[in-house]
Structure formats: C-alpha cells, structure tokens
Amino acid sequence: MKTWTKILLYTLCTAFALIVVLPFLMMILGSVKNARESALFGLDLPTEYAWDNYGKVLSKASVIRGFLNTIFISLATVILTDIAAAMAAFVIQRRPGRASRVSYYLLLVGLVMPVSIIPTIKLMMSLGIHNSYSGLILYFTAVNLSFAVFLIAGFMGSVPKELDEAAIVEGSSYTRLFFKIILPLLKTVIVTNTIITVLAVWDDFFGPFYLVSNSKKWTIVMSMYTFVSQYQTNWGLVFAFMMLMILPMLLMYFFLQRFIIEGITAGSVKG
C-alpha cells in the first residue's frame, strides 16, 4: 500500500474515531458538572466536580426499578432465546431436508422484516399478555430469535455428527444428547449470542414504549426517556444517568468482546 493511501486511511479512521469519542468524552465530563456548566456542552474540565449528580440519579426510585426490570427481562429473554435457537439450529443441521431448509429460510426472514407493532399489540391483548413482563419477554425473544438461529446454526455445522451416533448407540435419548453433549460444545457461540441479545434488549426503546403502559414495568431506556423530560434543564443529571445506563454494557463488552469475535468467526468459517 502506498504511503499517501496509508495517510488517507489513517486520517479517515482518526476522524471516525473522534466522531465517536468526543461526544462520549463530553458526556463523561458533563456528568460531573453543575447545571450551568453542563448546559454549555463543552469539553473543558469542570470548575468543581459535582459527583453528587450520580447520587441524585440513584436516589430516584424509578431509576432503580428501571435497572431491575431491565436485568430481569434481559435474563429471561437470553435464556429463552439461547435455548430455543440452539434447539432449532440442532434440528436444522442434523435433519437436512426440505422442511428444515424452509424453516431456516423463514426464520431468516425475521432478519430483514420489520416488526409490525399494531398486530403485535392485538395478538398480545387476545392472549392476555399485553402490558406485562411475559409479553415483553416473548416480544424480545421473537425479535432476537432469527439472528440467534442464524448464528448458532452456522456454528452447529462444526460439531461432528459422529457424537450423535455414538450417544444414540450408547442408549442416550435425544433430549439427553442435546443438553448433555451438544449444548456444552456451543458455549462460545451461546455466550456471543447472549451478549448480542442483552445489548439489543438493554437499548431497545420501541418495544417497551408501545407494549407497556405501566410505568412500574418500564425498562431503563423508558426511565431515561421520562428522566430527560423531567430534568432537561440540568444536563449534569441527564449525563450522569446516561453514564449509569451504558456503564454495565461497556463493562460487559470490554470483558467479553473476545467471545463475540470468536463466536461470529467460528460460525461463519465452520458453518
């Protein structure tokens, strides 16, 4: 690669990095500024650090409740999505045929087809799960299931079929074969899917906005939405809330990012 091409490439990469880093830095600094200084949206250091912004945010009952609701919904969604996707991928890979291919392609349609909110609301109302935790969990599971099947099915192709035959010969049932032998081998890709699913649930706004009207069941994103409208005159508090909201996801991604790379590359290469 020529020198001028490298310089241009590095310049573009630096520019794109600054586009991401500078607003994030402004948010970090703004979270410890008072109302007047934070409203300037500057990158200068605060004259006096207002660490109590975080305490004021955490003192709100709606904030703590939003965190707990999001954690509960995320965990339930992850469990359902991982198990359902792994089972579907197991059948698709182990029983090749027209039915499996059609099922797989129908699931992949979910990757490109947008969610239709009005039919979803009507369906939930008819089932009696609208405005409930179970309805929101099933909604997130359905939304994230297509990508999960696509990811795990690709990885499943790397698991030798001889393991199935040996287990069946030894008298193992298909249920025992799946949970005792196959599922542990999918640890890397399941961790990858877990991270992606948690990020999707944590950041989603439209699902809780349309499907849950009870404020006690709102996720952290909805709590953030109401908090901004209530405290928009004090951006120090708003920035502090934003930092608290994204900090768990940043820590999770920082410590588990290698699983994302390993899981996606393994599925694409081995599948």
Q: What is the pLDDT of residues 5-21, one digit of tens each?
A: 888 888 888 888 888 88
Q: Which two tokens stand for residue 140?
A: 């997130």
DSSP-derived 3-state class of residue 77:
helix
Looking at per-residue pLDDT, the higher value among 75 and 3 belongs to 75
The domains found in the chain, sorted by start residue, are 54-270 (1.10.3720.10)
Q: Which two tokens stand for residue 19?
A: 């586009």
C-alpha distances in Å from residue 185, one per residue of 178, 189, 242: 10, 9, 37
Largest CA distance in the chain: 73
Minimum mean pLDDT among 48-57, 96-105, 151-160, 256-265: which range?
256-265
Q: What is the DSSP letter of 51?
A: T
> Which of 12, 46, 17 minimizes the C-alpha distance to 32?
46
User: Which pTM does this prediction carry?
Assistant: 0.85
- Per cent of the chain over pLDDT 70 is 94
Q: Rounded distance, CA 270 to CA 158, Å?
A: 5
Find out whether 162 and 219 touch, Cβ atoms under 8 Å: no
- Per cent of the chain over pLDDT 90 is 27
Helices (H), the chain: 3-30, 35-38, 52-58, 61-94, 98-109, 117-127, 133-156, 162-169, 174-176, 183-185, 187-203, 206-211, 220-230, 235-270
Length of the chain: 271
Element (H, E) at 182: none
Rounded to an integer, the average pLDDT of 218-240 is 86
Local confidence band at 202 (pLDDT 50, 70, 90 cut-offs): very high
pLDDT at 94 over 90: no
3-class SS letters over 112-168:
CCCCCHHHHHHHHHHHCCCCCHHHHHHHHHHHHHHHHHHHHHHHHCCCCCHHHHHHH
Q: Rounded distance, CA 223 to CA 44, Å?
A: 29
Q: What is the pLDDT of residues 112-130, one digit of tens each?
A: 888 888 899 999 999 999 8
Please give the pLDDT value at position 264.
60
Q: What is the pLDDT of residues 209-218, one digit of tens each?
A: 999 988 889 9
